[in-house]
Structure 1
């Protein structure tokens, strides 16, 4: 039995890992393009994109782990079924209940990991992600100066650069307008560079070979100045501190904090308690459902005899995605008070538990049982109809050769 367990563990591990990584990569690629657009439009450094993606990974893994677990087990048992190894195992007395030992080892381990992610890692990463967005919008991470355009840096500084070299340290074709409490300054210069100072709130913009105009209320006329080098102090705009974690953001609360707010903080507003209850039970039902995924995977992994139909894979993905979308709707409706959060989330949960339990019972305890037998029959008829309407290329090639042969024979008969 130990050899069988090791064999099943290896058979499950590779598709599980591959599916998990593939799902995470697809989600990251989808988000990466939007993040690049957001960061570039905000004028921030491109390196912040990787920081934001890193903070999105816990959410993607929380979604990808159940799908990876389901498809890992399903593909492993499907391979056993197609190679008749599953029949051999059952023939020597190894039933589905015994074979579920290894899948449940994976399921319990991954469920514990996923619970830790949705309880602590994902809320903290979401808070960091929102903090990076705040820094980008406020300019704390630094803003890139767009060449050939007028750039507003804060409320008082307007800057235009015609050309930038050496990663922004050597600027040329400069126009700058600075408004302070004492005076207004406008200057043009051939070259310039930004220099740091001991004061983190002030930088020096060193201009070379230009002209400068100063205007103030106590000046009879504006003053003009031609210079070879001029240091223009620029005060950086003050940026407020980012909010505390969880302030009006229920998804940033850890699971114990969410439970405290949902049921043990009577002074909290009703809207907050409803949102906390909905989010709390959304996290829980998503994680607990992982215990049913090995049963669902086995129920859909075994195709009908003398068939290699992959309909079970399609049905499995549809069921998992549908369940997740139903939970998302129930979470939103519960948070808004349109539905009771517990009822809205646990009714679909119990329905899917009963459905998956019935599907496993059919495959495991009914001789020749097929949980989606009706769908398989319909799918087979549709596939045969499509083949009749659209014959395969080989059949079309054979038909063309036969027609050509008949045409040659007819020409030969006519010539004779």
Structure 2
């Protein structure tokens, strides 16, 4: 790798990493508010929010990595064009194809990373996310114990906690009413308490300090009252419904699993179509990344004496639009209306044809500047819209 390749690598790396970080932060912040509200409503610990966000990151990176690659390459060529460095490189005989060496190295590496994410990591992360949602709603994470409220576990236990600190590790104002194994009632109040694990996975130890215990034995008409400094109260955990197995949804299946189900003639037709559509959707999304360096050249090289950033806007619109079209094609293919191969690869072929045409016009047709033509059309559109604005019309009438 010569000095020009190293220079290109640095130009691409900064906007690429910045775009990945910014897009991931924006998507995480958007979902974080809803997750905090959901976890607070269910009464779960705050730490669950970070675990849920961590399991959502692979899904965000599936779209963030192509956008980061596109903007990284595009902004690199845009900087070369606006600083006249591109004219110097072209003047010494370096073609656009030669300058695409480093962008394609990035594309290959990021496509391999994206393939591993959407093919293997994202299905497991999605399943873990759904499992956390299930455990929050069922109370398996301790979310059913809400501070300041009476919480019932089955028909034999009622618990109330006045306040909680350190994410549930320091509890105070404890009241417990339960029925022991022999059927006698037991009531306990304590100043402080702490949940601890036991050797029995179906039982948890509630260590209470500075409290009073009232036990009514069937053999004695007088309740027994005890005061204690420390008392370990074994509490049987409620039986929760087990979460479903992974793979009930196509989002939770890896690429080999989707391929196996899609080629299984003994499987249901709807399940086969859904699996095939999901498989082709992921492969088409990864394959489109090899087109982005070519598109970056066409939209990144600015027109002469132009500083417009219209190419950056168009690149994002094209990627997001292509992604949404693929999602719609996947849904249609999963319904069996169109073969998934046709539904998913036809948009890819059209996107590839547009990309190759734009790149050919930029790199091999003398004087052709697709971005300059787009800027002219955009200027005409802006003038046509502003002509009919209320303020513009009043000014023209005056």
Which TM class, normalised by the smaller chain length? 0.7 to 0.9
Cα pair 1:13 1:72 within 8 Å, conserved: yes
Q: Can you list the C-alpha shifts for 1:317-366, whole angstroms capped at 9, x where unaligned? A: 00000000011111112112233222111111111111111111111122
Go from structure 1 to structure 2 and tell me whether the alpha carbon gap of 1:153 and 1:37 turns closer, same or farther (over 3 Å shift): farther
Aligned to 1:238: 239
Q: How far 1:378 sits from its partner (Å)?
A: 3.5
Which deviates the most, 230-239 or 284-293? 230-239
Q: Give the SS at the match of 2:370.
A: coil
**Partners in 1 of 2:245 and 2:164 — Cα distance?**
38
Partner of 1:380: 379
Distance 1:202 1:360, change over 3 A: same
Alpha-carbon separation, structure 2, partners of 1:111 and 1:165: 45
SS at match of 2:274: helix
* 1:38 aligns to 2:38 (yes or no): yes
The structure with the larger Rg is: 1
What's the offset of the Cα at 1:41? Answer: 2.4
Contact 1:172 1:190 in 2 (8 A): yes
Segments of 5+ residues of structure 2 without an aligned counterpart are: 390-398
Q: In structure 1, how many angstroms separate the alpha carbons of the residues matched to 2:322 and 2:169?
A: 54
Native 8 Å contact 2:302 2:371 kept in 1: no
* CA offsets 1:12-46 (integer angstroms, 9 cap, x no match): 12111211222122222222222222223232222
Q: Does residue 20 of structure 2 align to residue 20 of structure 1?
A: yes
Aligned in 2, Cα 1:54/1:157: closer, same or farther, shift over 3 Å? Answer: same
TM-score, normalised with respect to structure 1: 0.82
**Could you say which residue in structure 2 is the equivalent of 1:333?**
332
The answer (yes or no) to whether the contact 1:213–1:222 under 8 Å persists in 2 is no
Give me the whole-angstrom Cα distance separating, in 1, the residues matched to 2:62 and 2:195: 45
Q: Distance in 1 between matches of 2:50 and 2:43?
A: 15
Structure 1, 253-262 or 316-325: larger mean CA deviation: 253-262
Equivalent pair of 1:161/1:174 in contact (CA under 8 Å): yes
Residues 35-44 or 253-262, more deviating: 35-44
**Matched ranges for 1:17-416 at <5 A:** 17-143=17-143, 145-154=145-154, 156-164=156-164, 168=168, 171-179=171-179, 182-183=182-183, 185=185, 187=187, 189=189, 191=191, 193-194=193-194, 196=196, 197-205=198-206, 206=208, 209-210=211-212, 212=214, 214=216, 224-229=223-228, 232-246=233-247, 248-263=248-263, 265-381=264-380
8 Å contact from structure 1 (residues 170, 191) kept in 2: no
Distance in 1, matches of 2:210 and 2:327, equals 59
Measured in 1, the distance between the counterparts of 2:109 and 2:170 equals 55
Structure 1 residues 88, 243: CA separation in 2 closer, same or farther (over 3 Å shift)?
Answer: same
**RCO higher in structure (CA 8 A, sep ≥6):** 2
Q: Which region of structure 1 is more displaced relative to structure 2, 300-309 or 184-193?
A: 184-193
> What SS does the corresponding residue of 1:237 show, helix, strand or coil?
coil
User: Residue 151 of structure 1 aligns to a residue in which SS?
Assistant: strand
Task: Name the counterpart of 1:406.
Answer: none
Shift of 1:300: 0.4
CA distance in 1: counterparts of 2:358 and 2:71, whole angstroms: 17
Q: Are the counterparts in 1 of residues 115 and 286 from structure 2 also a CA contact under 8 Å?
A: yes
Q: Return the alpha-carbon distance in structure 2 between the equivalents of residues 373 and 297 of structure 1.
A: 15
The CA deviation at 1:179 is: 4.9
After superposition, the CA RMSD in angstroms is: 3.0
Shift of residue 237, structure 1, vs aligned partner: 0.7
Cα separation, 1, equivalents of 2:260 and 2:348: 23
Q: How many residues align?
A: 385
1:167-195 Cα offsets, whole Å, 9 max, x none, are 65665544433356753736363535245
Aligned equivalents of 1:296, 1:154: Cα separation in 2: 61
Relative distance call for 1:304 and 1:130 in structure 2 (3 A) is same
Separation (CA, whole Å) in 2 of partners of 1:214 and 1:67: 68
Q: 1:99 to 1:203 in 2, by over 3 A?
A: closer
1:155 to 1:353, Cα distance in 2 relative to 1, 3 A: farther
Displacement, 1:381? 4.8
Shift of the 107–180 alpha-carbon distance from structure 1 to 2, 3 Å rule, reads: same
Q: Contact 1:172–1:192 (CA<8 Å) still a contact in 2? A: yes
Secondary structure in structure 2 of the residue aligned to 1:330 = helix
Q: Which structure 1 residue ranges, 5 or more long, are not aligned?
A: 390-416
